Amino acid sequence: MDELRAFGSIVAHMWEHKFEDTATPNRRVFEVRKDYPDTTFPCILRLPSNGLQSDRVDESGLLSALREDGPEQNAITPTLEIVAIARDVSDTIRLPKKVFDNLFRHFNIDPIVKQHAILNSYGFHHYGPENHRNNCHTFFFGNLFYSIFWSFNPQTMKTRGILILRTIERYDYGKLMFESFVAILRILRGRLYTPFVLLFVSFSLIAHAIDENMYRVVDSLREIENFTGFGPSHRKRLEKQHNEGRRRALERQSTMNLEKADEEIHKLDDHSRHLTDSNVHIANLLRHVKLLSDMAETLTEDGFLGNYCKGIPQQWEEAAAKECDYFCGLVAPMQRRLKTAKPSLDYLHDRCKSLFQVVFSLLTHEDAEVNIRLAKDSKTIAEATKKDSAAMKTIAFMTMFFLPGTFFAAVFAIPSLKWENDNKQPGVIQHGFGIYWALTAPATVLILALWFIWEWWGEKIKDKKQKKKARKENAMRHMPSSSQDLENGMNGMAGALRSI
């Protein structure tokens, strides 16, 4: 055990940046958050025989408040003292390291659990008083919501520990779990004769949290099923949806608004992320079911509860024995509760995976519909462009057809050229009118012929390039893909020559 304690001290020293006063600037998340409701922790819970007390203290006065002598401070009577502190989302403990170490020493907690506390470990660990001062038993239990570790001195009947709550926004930054912890502890306030009261408080609290989170997951899945129309509550609609599915799809393709489709895609994308988060959350709940099941098996081992009650003063032995029997009776119903929770979580896991496939299919379908709509719009644009191109070609043809006539008409209209009769009498058709047509008609034919030849030559060059490209691609496909293929080809050629 001494070697394990030394190793635990080394690990704890390596992770000293997890404390508030030694954290790096980028890890001190709540130092810059003004909206963080840091008004609950640190807090001291005291459970003497006259009731439960909860006092909010400052970090500077924490140790002084713990050292205050009360009426039961030196008496041999069952008492409980818990210090609740916070751990932020970056896993930084919101307490100076010096104060944290002094709490360990003041509560006689085995330093071996310090690494579990700093690294936010999960699971149940217990250590006996061997080679540890003051003959105290040490326990640790870590889970998603908090870590708790405590010592129990059977000679003085004092249980003292540290509760580190994770400040999760969903649970009101640790306040909700703290209030639940205090409520269950208040119910069991008369069970302080053994070191297991905090263990069963955590057992009950985590089991209740598993049920609550299962309901949250179910509620989230139902919301997604209502959006998609698929799920256990929508089986009667499936046949009707199957018959109307194609008709609605065709209507959507013809009348679909791209902005609305984009909104649908964003919603499906959000649902896919929620499903991924739910799937991870279900896996985490399954892990906690396994942790609680292992802890229940440990508690039911022969002599486990009794071994940690040895050394209790004689006046409290009978009460401690009754309390052990009481806790033993609680293990069986808790195990049954866990057994019923696991099939439900497995069902939710399969339901989540099926729904994820549905969302993925709908997301693919929406994307395909958008692509079809875009393809139709592109086709419409292409047809309009083709019509515009044909119109431009018609305009160009008509321009070329009338261009020679217009040119020669302008030339004949030059004032320096005289086109009059010899007898000075004007007429409708002058003798130069034939010359105009003699020049215009051949010029028009020549221009049109050159244009047709230019178009024909361009198409011919384009066809040659395409054929050359096709021959090159064909040659590349039939080219040997490796040296072995080349060698096989040469061997086949040699065999053919020998046969000749």
Tens of pLDDT, residues 169-181: 777 777 888 888 8
Q: Which of 359, 60, 36, 330 is nearest to 188 (CA)?
A: 330
pLDDT digits (tens, 9 = 90+) for 210-250: 888 888 888 888 888 888 777 665 554 555 454 554 455 44
pLDDT digits (tens, 9 = 90+) for 324-353: 888 888 888 888 888 889 999 999 999 888
C-alpha 30/C-alpha 35 separation (Å) is 9
Rounded to two decimals, what is the model's pTM?
0.66
Above 70 in pLDDT, residue 3?
A: no
- The pLDDT, as a whole number, for residue 149 is 93
pLDDT digits (tens, 9 = 90+) for 104-152: 888 989 888 888 888 888 999 988 776 556 678 899 999 988 999 999 9
C-alpha 352/C-alpha 10 separation (Å) is 42
- More confident of the two residues 36 and 447: 447
- The pLDDT, as a whole number, for residue 132 is 56
Confidence at 28, pLDDT banded by 50, 70, 90:
very low
The pLDDT mean for the chain works out to 75
Give CA torsion, residues 123, 129, 131, 135, to 10 deg: 140
End-to-end CA distance of the chain: 89
Above 60 in pLDDT, residue 5?
A: no
Check if the beta carbon of residue 313 is closer than 8 Å to that of residue 157: yes
387: three-class secondary structure by DSSP = helix
Confidence at 356, pLDDT banded by 50, 70, 90:
confident
C-alpha 68/C-alpha 54 separation (Å) is 15
What CA–CA distances, in Å, run from 426 to 429, 437, 438? 9, 20, 22
Which stretch, 142-156, 249-263, 408-422, has highest mean pLDDT? 142-156
Share of the chain above pLDDT 90, in %: 9
Which two structure tokens, joined as six digits, stand for 166? 């994770």
Which two structure tokens, joined as six digits, stand for 355? 């729904």
- The pLDDT, as a whole number, for residue 495 is 56
- The pLDDT, as a whole number, for residue 438 is 78
